[in-house]
Structure 1
Amino acid sequence: MNAPTGKVLAELRAKAQADHRALRSRIDRLSDDAIDLILRDARSHYAWTDKPIPDGLLEELYEITSNGPTSMNTLPARFTFVYTPEGKAKLAKSLKPQNVAKMMGAPVTVIVSHDMDFWKRLPELFPHEDRRHLFDGKPEYCADTAFRNGTMQGAYLMIAARALGLDVGAMSGFSNAIVDEEFFAGTTIKSNFLCNIGYADETALFQKLPRLAFDQACSFA
């Protein structure tokens, strides 16, 4: 651990605060069009065009995703971008039959996973205080933290992909055990869900399904 201290720490904190104030003064909220693109009018997709994902875009997608918040900056998510015929064939073994075509037709399918040993990197990711003792020898706490924060990171990935002009289609109709055996055997990584990424063929869309109203899903306390 090599955390900044003293004057250096004070300067870094002051810069972070100033940068955030500058950001909020420059952009007070996203436009309605931007919100429509990433959530309000966005759709989950099931069919894909053959338009390729440009070189470097997946790296940019991860860079944006990695900036989403996680508890103690644990960053437990791991992303496996499956795009080769060999990788797709391995992944197909895990899928329910109705999902095979959706995955095979997508340019890339991301296995959103989490590393159960994420906490071993805390000296690098959370350098100002060693919190490894909170996780060492506590597998249930590790699993809860990894799953919760890895799931959030998977959601960040989907929103970031839409923001970059990509389309997404998350899938849960598969066997986690088979994915873990095919891709992560002998490691501490566990799969969570799958997400197809590419440029959608909108002809497969159906009407948007209803959403719960505010007073059906929300309350005050």
Structure 2
Amino acid sequence: MDIVATAKQRYTAKAYDTNRRIPDEVMQQIYEVIRNSPSSVNSQPWHFIVASTPEGKARLAKGVQGGYSFNESKVRDASHVILFCTRVDTEGGHLDRLLEQEDRDGRFADEAAKAGTAKGRLHFTNLHRYTLKDLPQWYEKQTYIALANAMTAAAAVGVDSTPMEGIDVAALDTELGLHEKGLSSLVLLALGYHAESDFNAKLPKSRLPQEQVFTFL
């Protein structure tokens, strides 16, 4: 794979072909890339809600009404739409679930290693919870890593994407009962194949030159 070519071909789709759907086997690849995204101290503070039916997309479209209606057509016309949600705290046994999954996956040589991982994760979690007082924002940063991975993975398999921060978080949280699960909406990602009318597909990518954005020591 030419990773530079993949990065250059990825762009933000503005209109989707409603007649084309992403094959399930392709979506499963994208899901696995998202699931395997890195996060600080393997905190995995995320949950992903996928809509691929008209009914499911209509529910997510409740978050792109009013002042956010410019995003509604992308949500309704895309093949799949993923709502990236983030945890707002560690309640509900999340840290315990992480530790037990790591244990099942064979990451610990012994109980001391398991205890050390638990202690280290709790240290950084409490640092952001009590000292820096930015735990939800720290968790959001981790979830954005998963978003970036999703867009790159989609481009690698020939799928177009549109990240959307222009959403009504409160409306989506209410529609999906996210607060009861310790979660909150963060960003939507539409996935599909661009329509011929998508003006952005024909425009050249524009980025500042390397000498302006890199400093080599």
TM-score range normalised by the length of the shorter chain: 0.7 to 0.9
Query: TM-score, with normalisation over the residues of structure 2?
Result: 0.76
Partner SS for 1:147: helix
Query: Aligned-pair RMSD on alpha carbons?
Result: 2.4
Aligned to 1:216: 212
Match for 1:156: what amino acid? N
Q: Choose the corresponding residue for 2:170, options 170, 177, 189.
A: 177
Separation in 1 of the partners of 2:101 and 2:210? 37
Q: Trace 1:188-199 onto structure 2 (pairs within 5 A).
A: 188-199=182-193
Aligned to 1:86: 55
Identity %: 26
Separation in 2 of the partners of 1:181 and 1:106? 23
Q: Choose the corresponding residue for 1:130, options 118, 121, 138.
A: 118
In the superposition, relative to structure 1, how do residues 208 and 172 fare at CA in structure 2: closer, same or farther (>3 Å)? farther
Q: Trace 1:34-49 onto structure 2 (pairs within 5 A).
A: 34-36=3-5, 38-49=6-17
Of residues 67-76 and 135-144 in structure 1, the stretch that sits farther from structure 2 once superposed is 135-144
Shift in Å, 1:151:
0.7
Aligned to 1:8: none
Runs of 4+ deviating beyond 6 Å: none
Separation in 1 of the partners of 2:33 and 2:205? 29
Match for 2:77: what amino acid? G
The one of the two structures with greater contact order (alpha-carbon pairs below 8 A, sep at least 6) is 2
Residues 72 and 126 of structure 1 are in contact (CA less than 8 Å); yes or no, is this contact kept in structure 2? no
Q: Choose the corresponding residue for 1:121, options 93, 97, 102.
A: 97
Query: TM-score, with normalisation over the residues of structure 1?
Result: 0.75
Shift in Å, 1:125:
4.8
Aligned to 2:69: 97
Separation in 2 of the partners of 1:55 and 1:122? 28
Aligned to 1:15: none
Residues 83 and 109 of structure 1 are in contact (CA less than 8 Å); yes or no, is this contact kept in structure 2? yes
